[in-house]
């Protein structure tokens, strides 16, 4: 009897539970990433301070055209919002900033300006950080897939987008994973391709990971629209906060159920998997039950390198 793939790295539901140490390490990694992403904003703030160092009165700021975009930011307008505003609207925002906030600050108006600039930039950073875990999770999975292929000397192609060309594999793995959209390889006469975060038309939603039974030359809308070309589909949740773990699993569970029913309508039954960073005890028990009854074919805890490596080896050998 063939061993179920998840049994190569899991022996019970407890193996899926995210430990305190793993949660702590995840938050540390998030803090480091936030600091890295904040550095350009801090540098911009320093540059703004230097640019206004000779200004004596707040109203004089209007006489420096080069800093107008920064003044709009300090007025609480995001870059995205500013792009939809007329010049007169942006000027009104600057005028409001000067009259209501900088003038009342007196001689400390430059300090007030810098604080308000960073406040808006911080909000922008917060928005980008809400999406960072998904990107980091995809990169971790992609690195493990590439490592599995590279270990066995399997050549592969990769692409950074739907309209981008497929390129030969490179030793610069770090450079690849940060922009990866797809990987394609050939093993034992069979072609395989993985695409990340694509909309599956007959499912009606995006799916995080899809493995197809064709090569990169054949990937097209016709293939994506045809259920017979799908081998494996998976949901990937990278958020590490235990408070959001249950919601991540509920969302993934709903998505997996939708995938199963959509393929069933077309007579298909692809393998399904779940990879999550934050997995609590009750969730782990539910995932284990679904593994045992065949609802899921595989699962792994994102914070466990060995589990991720084992699951990705399974993907590469499917």
Tens of pLDDT along the chain (318 residues) come to 467 999 999 999 999 999 999 999 988 888 888 888 889 999 999 999 999 998 999 999 989 999 999 999 999 998 888 889 999 999 999 999 999 999 999 999 999 999 999 999 988 787 766 677 788 889 999 999 999 999 999 999 999 876 778 888 876 666 778 788 999 999 888 999 999 999 999 898 899 999 999 999 888 878 888 999 999 999 999 888 888 888 888 988 899 999 999 999 988 899 999 999 999 999 999 999 999 999 999 999 999 999 999 999 999 999
CATH of 5-34+129-317, one of 3.30.70.20, 2.60.40.10, 3.40.50.1000, 3.40.91.10: 3.40.91.10
Tell me where in the chain the CATH 3.40.91.10 domain(s) lie. Answer: 5-34+129-317
Consecutive H or E run containing 275: strand 271-276
Which tokens sit at 98? 């000067």
What architecture (CATH level 2) is domain 36-127? Answer: Orthogonal Bundle (1.10)
Three-state DSSP class for 182?
A: strand
pLDDT value at residue 199: 92
Q: What is the largest CA-CA distance in the chain?
A: 82
pLDDT of 171 reads: 61
User: In terms of Cα–Cα distance, which of 192, 175, 177 is closest to 146?
Assistant: 177
Return residue ranges of the chain for CATH 1.10.238.90.
Answer: 36-127
Q: Strands 182-187 and 298-301, how do they pair?
A: unpaired
Query: Cβ(276)–Cβ(286) under 8 Å?
Result: no
Sort strands 271-276 and 205-212 into parallel, antiparallel or unpaired.
Answer: unpaired
- For 134, the token pair is 């998904």
Task: Give me the pLDDT at residue 174, please.
Answer: 67
Strands of the sheet with 230-237, listed across from one edge:
167-168, 156-159, 182-187, 190-200, 205-212, 230-237, 271-276, 298-301
Q: Please list the alpha-helical segments (H only) found in the chain.
A: 20-51, 68-74, 79-82, 87-97, 109-151, 173-177, 221-224, 245-265, 281-293, 305-317
Place of tokens 């007030």: 112
pTM for the whole thing?
0.81
How big is the CA angle at 240 (ends 234 and 243), to the nearest 5 degrees? Answer: 110
Q: Are strands 182-187 and 167-168 parallel, antiparallel or unpaired?
A: unpaired
pLDDT number for residue 123: 82
Contacts of 124 (CB under 8 A, 6+ apart): 41, 78, 79
């Amino acid at each position: 009897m063939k061993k179920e793939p998840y049994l190569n790295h899991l022996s019970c539901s407890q193996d899926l539970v995210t430990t305190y140490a793993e949660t702590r390490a995840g938050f540390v990694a998030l803090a480091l990433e936030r600091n890295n992403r904040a550095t350009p904003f801090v540098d911009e703030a320093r540059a703004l301070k230097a640019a206004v160092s000779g200004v004596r009165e707040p109203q004089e700021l209007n006489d420096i055209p080069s800093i107008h975009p920064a003044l709009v930011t300090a007025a609480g307008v995001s870059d995205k919002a500013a792009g939809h505003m007329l010049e007169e609207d942006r000027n009104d925002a600057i005028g409001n900033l000067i009259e209501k906030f900088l003038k009342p600050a007196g001689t400390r108006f430059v300090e007030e300006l810098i604080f308000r600039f960073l406040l808006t930039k911080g909000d922008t950073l917060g928005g980008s950080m809400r999406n960072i875990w998904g990107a980091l999770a995809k990169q971790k999975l992609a690195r493990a897939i590439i490592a599995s292929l590279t270990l066995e000397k399997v050549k592969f192609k990769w692409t950074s987008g739907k309209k981008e060309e497929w390129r030969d594999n490179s030793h610069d793995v770090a450079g690849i994973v940060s922009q990866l959209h797809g990987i394609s390889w050939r093993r034992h006469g069979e072609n395989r391709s993985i695409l990340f975060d694509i909309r599956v038309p007959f499912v009606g939603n995006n799916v995080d990971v899809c493995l197809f039974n064709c090569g990169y030359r054949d990937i097209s809308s016709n293939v994506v629209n045809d259920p017979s070309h799908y081998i494996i589909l998976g949901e990937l949740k990278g958020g590490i906060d235990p408070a959001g773990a249950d919601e991540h699993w509920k969302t993934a569970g709903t998505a997996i159920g939708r995938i199963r029913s959509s393929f069933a309508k077309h007579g298909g039954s692809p393998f399904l998997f779940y990879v999550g960073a934050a997995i609590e005890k009750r969730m782990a028990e539910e995932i284990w039950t679904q593994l045992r009854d065949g609802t899921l074919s595989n699962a792994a805890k994102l914070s466990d390198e060995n589990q991720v490596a084992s699951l990705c080896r399974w993907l590469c050998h499917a």
